[in-house]
Amino acid sequence: MTLLDLDTRAALAPRSISGDRLRKLVAERTGDPVLGHEAHVVSQVLPFKVSSYVIDELIDWGRAPDDPIYRLTFPHRDMLEPEHFALIEQAVAQGDRGTVRQAVDTVRAALNPHPGDQLSMNVPQHDDIDGSGMQHKYSETLLVFPRQGQTCHSYCGYCFRWAQFVDTPDLKMAMSGPEAMTRYLDLHPGITDVLLTGGDPLVMRTELLASYLEPLLEPGREHVETIRIGTKAVSFWPYRLLAGPEADDLLRLLERLTAAGKHVAMMLHLSHVAELQTDAARTALARLASTGAVLRAQAPVVRHVNDDPRTWADLWQAQVRNRVVPYYMFVERDTGARPYFGLPLARAVDIYREALQRVSGLGRTARGPVMSASPGKVVVDGVVDLDGGRAFALRFLQARQADLVGKPFFAKYDEHAQWWDDLRPHGPRDREFFGAGGNA
């Protein structure tokens, strides 16, 4: 690709494809009109957006619908329960907007749009600071959700923040400017990490991003040692990092932060090795690394996309090759299209362990499978046979109750369990880990 091509690309913002255009695109590219119809129906409920890069360079249309990136981004019938699908399909066929709206609201409400009480818990409470775009769950880390970063260049079908992307205003949680963040930080000198997240903060213009990041360099904010930026731009829109003034300014911004002594970590969401096989993605990673930022990667293990040890081994290997440190393998949350993407914990553990065995130590740095649940981040270390029967060996990597971190504990083995709420203490000594009022 020539630089001119790249400049042209950078000028083209990714656009949402919806309704009839989605139906036609899927039908034409796959040659299957039924798939097009089904995608159209499901996209009434779950947010859908895809960039030209994903369509033209990532998806292998010869393999669709089984291509992993197609599965990752395009709506599929089985993402909804059959009765929900039928309800929406009928409403769409009737063609009355009010009926469709009502059916869509009903189905969305049934999909647990706010897993882990994100809207009510962890939001800082201060008389004179609007905490609505922040989460402060673990003492050392502040999560910041800039308003203009609450979308992505494409959407993942399994996104646990899907409810933020649909057009219901009261589902949104976001911060309108950096002042609430800086005032909160000044009142909390114990915070060492600021994590900008979304959505994808790199959908914001660099100037806006800088308005959140540059205040972290000001005197008095030395306690903020680490700045993490969560993004899937390398996979969904690498041109954000490749060419044009916006990309160059972004790299200069990251350089200023690292030169000032901050640890800058790009938290890259990478689901499949196919995302690292284009020249655009590899060049984007090299440019990011050249700023002195540390590149780390995380993604959930999900059915239809990466539920296979070889896929994870290849992904980790490709990450190491591109100077990316594997960080987390997450468990898909209990929201949205989980019936389609979700896996039993027992399967996730097998995938993790078998993938580890295939890579060298540098590729074994991802912790997983991890549930980011209400009481904390719980890693499933394995399945063990104890006196009282078979059990999951668990450990908190992070906990609301900090003294629980790092201690092994056990839950009754359940081959169908997919999430923290499905687990029960194995024995009496495990009860304290499940909390009062929790799932004890």
Ligand X SMILES: *Cc1c(COP(=O)(O)O)cnc(C)c1O
Residues that bind ligand SF4 (CB under 6 A): 152, 155-156, 159, 161, 198-200, 232, 269
Radius of gyration for the chain, computed over Cα atoms and rounded to the nearest angstrom? 22
Amino acid type, 278: T
Q: How far is the CB of 227 from ligand X (least distance, A)?
A: 13
Q: How far is the CB of 239 from ligand X (least distance, A)?
A: 28
Range 347-376, binding ligand X (CB under 6 A): 372
Residue span binding ligand X (CB under 6 A) among the ranges 107-115, 136-144, 304-312, 399-407? 136-144
Q: Return the closest-CA partner of residue 148 out of 168, 126, 164, 125.
A: 164
Distance CA 187, CA 131 (A): 13
Question: Which of helix, strand or coil describes residue 143?
Answer: strand
The reply to whether 143 sits near ligand X by the rule CB under 6 A is yes
The reply to whether 377 sits near ligand X by the rule CB under 6 A is yes
Contact present, 127 and 176 (Cβ < 8 Å)? no
Q: Other C-beta atoms within 10 Å of 440: how many?
A: 12
Q: Which does 155 bind (CB under 5 to 8 A by kind): ligand X, ligand SF4, none?
A: ligand SF4
Range 314-343, binding ligand X (CB under 6 A): none
Distance CA 138, CA 102 (A): 38
Residue span binding ligand X (CB under 6 A) among the ranges 91-99, 133-141, 154-162, 241-249? 133-141
Residue span binding ligand X (CB under 6 A) among the ranges 132-140, 154-162, 236-244, 303-311? 132-140
Of residues 14 and 199, the one with the C-beta less far from ligand SF4? 199
Distance CA 37, CA 77 (A): 9
Residue span binding ligand X (CB under 6 A) among the ranges 53-61, 138-146, 210-218, 306-314? 138-146
Of residues 22 and 194, the one with the C-beta less far from ligand X? 194
Q: How far is the CB of 397 from ligand X (least distance, A)?
A: 6
Distance CA 11, CA 247 (A): 11
Give me the half-sphere count of Cα atoms (radius 13 Å) on the Cβ side of residue 261.
8
- Classify residue 120 by burial, with Cβ atoms within 10 Å: 0-12, 13-18, 19+: exposed
Q: Which does 73 bind (CB under 5 to 8 A by kind): ligand X, ligand SF4, none?
A: none
Q: How far is the CB of 269 from ligand SF4 (least distance, A)?
A: 5
The reply to whether 405 sits near ligand X by the rule CB under 6 A is no
Please list, in sequence order, all residues whose beta carbon lies within 8 angstroms of the beta carbon of residue 151, skipping any fewer than 6 positions away. Answer: 49, 165, 198, 199, 200, 203
> Which residue ranges make up the site for ligand X (CB under 6 A)?
135, 137-138, 141, 143, 372, 377, 397-398
